[in-house]
Amino acid sequence: MQLPEPTSDALAASHALQQRIVDEIRHPDHDGWISFAHYMELALYAPGLGYYSGGAKKLGKDGDFTTAPEITPLFGAALARIGAELMAQSSPQMLEFGAGSGRLAFDILTELAAQNVPLEQYAIVELSGELRARQQELLRGFPQVVWLDRLPAAFSGVVLGNEVLDAMPVQLVVKRADGWREVGVALAPGPDGERFVFRDSRDQADGSAQPELQAQIRAQIPDPDALPDGYLTELHAVGCGFMRTLAQMLTAGSGKPGGSGKGGVALLFDYGFPAHEYYLAQRAQGTLMCHYRHHAHADPFYLPGLQDITAHVDFSAMAQAALDGGLELLGYSGQAAFLIAAGIGELLLRTSPDDAQRYLPQANAVQKLLSPAEMGELFKVLVVGRDVSLPEQFGRGDRSHRLQPVALYI
C-alpha cells in the first residue's frame, strides 16, 4: 500500500499500542489468541493510545475522513428542523453521541437559536479527549452544551448519532466445511519480528464457534447454512448492546411506568444494509474497512491507533435490539429521502440561485449528501423511539418493511 508516512511521534504511539495488544494476546488467559472485537476495541479505544482516545486529528482535510456535517452546515440545519418538531412532542433536550469536531452541534444550535426554538440542554457523550477539546473550543458560545462520560440513565428528547454505530467493535466469523468459527487475532513470525495475523478460534473440540456465538449467527444472518464455505462476515454484538442501552435510557425517560412522562427518539445516521442485503453470498469477505489520511484500505493491522477501523451496520440487528428493549421502529430510509423530508431543499434556497458564487458551493455540497452515487443511498437513517412519531412527510420514503425479520413486529 502506498499510504502517507506517519510522523515519528505518531509512529512511536502506534508501536506502544502494538506492544499493548501483543501483551494482551500473550496473556495466560488468552492462550495466544484474542477476538477481533477485542483487537478492534484496543485499536480504537485503548486509553491514551487508541484511535479515538489518542490525540491524532481525525476529521476534515487534514484528518482521515470527512462526515456529512463537515461538508455543509445545511445538514445540521435540516436536523435542527426535524429536531424542533420532535422536541415539541417530548422535551427541549438533545443528546449527541460521538460529536466529532462539534460541527453538527454548532450548526444545530445555530439554527435552533435563529428559529427561537427553546433548548434547555445539548448533551454530548464523547470518548475522545482530543475531539472533546475541539468541541469545547467550537461550542464555547453555547451555554446549553454539557459533556458527559456516558449515556444518562434516563433521557427525554432527541438523541443523535452520526457515524457512531460503524465504529463499534465487531466480531468476525467464518464458515468452514465443519461449521462456523470465530476469527480472531494471533501472532506469527514476520520479516521485522512478530506480526498480527487472523486465526480461527478452536475453543470447541470440533473447531466450531461457541454455542452463544452460534446462536448469535442464527439470529443475525438469514439462512447461514446456505452461504459458501470460506464466507467471512461481521457480527454486531457491541452495536446491539448499545441499542439496548439506548432503549433503556429512552424507556426510563418516557411516559411509561417509572418514566418522566415524556417521550424520546433517536436518529442514527450510518452506512450499512438490512440483513437480507448485508449477508449476500457475493459479499464473501465482509465489509471491514480502514481509513487513514483519506485513503481507504482493508488491512486492520496497519499502524494500530493511527487509522479508523469500521464495518457497515446491520440495520436489521440494530432495529431488532431496539425493539427488544421496548422501543418502536419509527422509520428507516436512505439519507437522501430523510434530508429532503426534513427540508434541506428549502434551506438551500435561502441562498438565491442568482448569487452563483454563494449558491453553487452549497448546492454541490447538498448534492453530495443526496446523490445516489455519493452519500444519498449508501447512508441510511434509523429512527427508533417511544411516545413520539415522525411527521407525516417522512412516511413517503420509509423502508421499514425491508428490515426483516423486525418488520414482523411493527
Domain membership of residue 365 (yes or no) is yes
| pLDDT tens profile 33-50 | 999 999 999 999 999 899
Number of domains in the chain: 2
Domain membership of residue 91 (yes or no) is yes
Looking at the fold, whether 263 and 318 belong to one and the same domain comes out as yes
Looking at the fold, whether 160 and 247 belong to one and the same domain comes out as yes
Looking at the fold, whether 185 and 285 belong to one and the same domain comes out as yes
- Report the C-alpha gap between 250 and 120 in whole angstroms: 17
Range of the domain at 123: 68-168+238-276+311-409
C-alpha count within 13 angstroms, C-beta hemisphere, residue 314: 31
- Report the C-alpha gap between 174 and 51 in whole angstroms: 26
Looking at the fold, whether 24 and 102 belong to one and the same domain comes out as no
Q: Contact, 224 vs 217, CB < 8 A?
A: yes
Whose grid coordinates read 439506548? 246
Looking at the fold, whether 143 and 177 belong to one and the same domain comes out as no
Looking at the fold, whether 127 and 270 belong to one and the same domain comes out as yes
Rounded average pLDDT over 61-88: 87
Which residues, at least 6 apart from 263, have a Cβ–Cβ distance to it below 8 Å? 89, 90, 156, 250, 254, 255, 385, 386, 387, 388
Looking at the fold, whether 269 and 129 belong to one and the same domain comes out as yes
Domain membership of residue 1 (yes or no) is no
Looking at the fold, whether 344 and 364 belong to one and the same domain comes out as yes
Rounded average pLDDT over 151-174: 96
- Report the C-alpha gap between 213 and 173 in whole angstroms: 9
**What phi-psi label fits residue 304: left (phi over 0), alpha (psi between -120 and 50 degrees) or beta?**
beta
Instruction: Give the model's pLDDT for residue 256.
Output: 55
Domain membership of residue 58 (yes or no) is no
Looking at the fold, whether 217 and 154 belong to one and the same domain comes out as no
Looking at the fold, whether 341 and 256 belong to one and the same domain comes out as yes
Domain membership of residue 398 (yes or no) is yes
Task: Judge whether residue 61 has pLDDT over 70.
Answer: no
Looking at the fold, whether 154 and 287 belong to one and the same domain comes out as no
Instruction: Give the model's pLDDT for residue 259.
Output: 45
Domain membership of residue 255 (yes or no) is yes
Count CB atoms within 10 A of the CB of residue 352: 9
- Report the C-alpha gap between 260 and 251 in whole angstroms: 9
Domain membership of residue 63 (yes or no) is no
**Exposed, middle or buried, 363 (CB in 10 Å: 0-12/13-18/19+)?**
middle
| pLDDT tens profile 21-36 | 999 999 999 889 999 9
pTM for the model stands at 0.92
C-alpha closest to that of 148 among 95, 200, 110: 95
Domain membership of residue 84 (yes or no) is yes
Looking at the fold, whether 198 and 126 belong to one and the same domain comes out as no
Whichever domain contains 130, its CATH number is 3.40.50.12710
